[in-house]
Amino acid sequence: INDRHDNVILGDEEKILYGKGYIYDTLLDNQYKISLKSFYQINPIQVEKLYQTAIDLAHINQDSVVLDAYCGIGTITLSLAKHVKKIYGVEVVPQAIEDAKNNALLNKIDNAEFVCDDAGKYMVELVKKNIHLDVVFVDPPRKGCSEEFLEHLLQANPKEIIYISCDVATQARDAKYLNEHGYTITHCQPVDMFPHTFHVETVCLLSRK
């Protein structure tokens, strides 16, 4: 129910007319419980290719410590979990984090830790705790990353940044900023999410110079 007259799609109240109010889907061998207000990619075939491309680009192993910023219900986080020692997922939407924690339990994954917080501020907290991040995965909304977030990302100083974007213009803007502060794009791979439209997601690997 939304009586607002702006660009906000979902309101603060919803009523379930039929069913349980959530669905399940399988992605890269993990099962996900998806509630109403959780973000989820809607092209199941291509999203597996998108996430697998991101995983393949990252230089990770069983000793790697990774952060997934803007983690949503944990799809990227939990897809990465079996490849790394420890992974943190951070997201500001409480319902999404609740789903992510439930999805970790659902898939019996115990090396993923989910936190409801601002991604940039949480990265700084990890740095203060002397937790070194080898790779940071970033999959922001269409508006891209704020400069404040990018500054926090630079403080975390990961060896690599995997930047997934649904808007190549804001990704290019953010990549330019990161390039000016010590990172260079070493690989870029577009993935066609919606054929015959302009909606192409782009995965970039940025490596510390």
Question: What residues are annotated to the active site?
Answer: 166
Query: Residue with structure tokens 């409480």?
Result: 94
Q: Which of 22, 30, 21, 57 is nearest to 160 (CA)?
A: 57
Contacts of 137 (CB under 8 A, 6+ apart): 54, 58, 66, 67, 68, 69, 76, 80, 161, 162, 164
| Dist CA 204 CA 185 (whole Å) | 7
CB 86 within 8 A of CB 111: yes
| Dist CA 147 CA 124 (whole Å) | 14
